[in-house]
C-alpha cells in the first residue's frame, strides 16, 4: 500500500461518519429555516425599505431642484419685466414733466403778453382820458381867461366867444 493511501486511511476528517452527517443535516436545515424566517426576511425587508426610501428621497431632491430652477427663472423673468416697467414709467414721468413745464412756459408767456397788452390799452385809454380831461380843463381855463380877457376888452361879445371855441377846438394837443 502506498504512502498516500496509508495517510488517507488514518485521515479521520475525511472519513464519512453517519452521526456527523445526520447531525449536520439536521442542524443546517434548522439553521436555514430559522434564519430565513426570523432573520433574513426582516433584514431583507428592512434593507429594501431603506433602499426605497433613499431612492425616493433622491428623486424628491431632484424634483425639488428642478422646481427651484423653474422658480428661479420665473423670478428672473418677473424681475426683468418689473425693471422694464419701471423704466417705462420713469420715461413717461419725464415726458409728462417736460410737457407740463413747456405748457406752463407757454401759458406764462401768453399771459404775460395778454397782461402787457391790456396794460398798454389801459395806459392808452388813461392817457386818452387824461388828455381829453386836460383838453377840457385847458379849454375851460382858456375860455375863462379869454372870457375875463374879452369881458374886460369886449364885454360879452358872442362872436368872440364862438371864435375862441373855434380856436380851442382847432388846437391840436397831440
Per-residue cell: 173: 394837443
42 or 132, CB closer to other proteins?
Answer: 42
Enumerate binding residues for other proteins (CB under 8 A): 1, 6-25, 27-28, 30-32, 34-36, 38-47, 49-50, 53
16 or 158, CB closer to other proteins?
Answer: 16
* Smallest distance from other proteins to CB 55, Å: 13
* Smallest distance from other proteins to CB 83, Å: 46
Closest listed residue to residue 138, CA positions, set 112, 93, 103, 172: 172
* Smallest distance from other proteins to CB 80, Å: 43
CA–chain centroid gap for 66, Å, is 30
Distances (CA, A) of 86 to 74, 75, 91, 94, 96: 18, 16, 8, 12, 15
Say how far apart CA 27 and CA 34 lie, in whole Å.
Answer: 10
* Smallest distance from other proteins to CB 28, Å: 6
Distances (CA, A) of 81 to 5, 75, 94, 115: 96, 10, 20, 50
Number of Cβ within 10 Å of residue 150's Cβ equals 18
8 or 89, CB closer to other proteins?
Answer: 8
1 or 173, CB closer to other proteins?
Answer: 1
* Smallest distance from other proteins to CB 12, Å: 4
43 or 145, CB closer to other proteins?
Answer: 43
Amino acid at each position: 500500500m502506498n504512502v498516500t493511501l496509508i495517510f488517507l486511511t488514518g485521515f479521520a476528517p475525511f472519513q464519512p461518519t453517519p452521526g456527523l452527517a445526520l447531525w449536520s443535516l439536521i442542524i443546517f436545515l434548522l439553521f436555514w429555516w430559522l434564519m430565513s424566517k426570523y432573520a433574513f426576511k426582516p433584514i431583507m425587508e428592512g434593507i429594501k425599505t431603506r433602499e426605497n426610501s433613499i431612492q425616493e428621497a433622491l428623486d424628491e431632491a431632484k424634483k425639488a431642484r428642478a422646481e427651484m430652477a423653474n422658480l428661479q427663472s420665473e423670478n428672473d423673468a418677473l424681475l426683468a419685466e418689473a425693471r422694464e416697467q419701471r423704466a417705462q414709467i420713469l420715461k413717461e414721468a419725464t415726458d409728462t414733466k417736460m410737457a407740463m413745464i413747456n405748457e406752463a412756459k407757454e401759458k406764462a408767456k401768453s399771459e404775460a403778453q395778454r397782461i402787457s397788452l391790456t396794460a398798454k390799452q389801459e395806459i392808452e385809454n388813461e392817457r386818452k382820458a387824461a388828455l381829453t380831461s386836460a383838453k377840457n380843463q385847458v379849454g375851460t381855463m382858456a375860455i375863462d381867461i379869454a372870457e375875463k380877457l374879452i369881458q374886460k376888452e369886449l364885454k360879452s361879445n358872442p362872436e368872440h366867444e364862438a371864435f375862441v371855441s373855434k380856436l380851442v377846438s382847432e388846437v391840436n394837443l397831440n
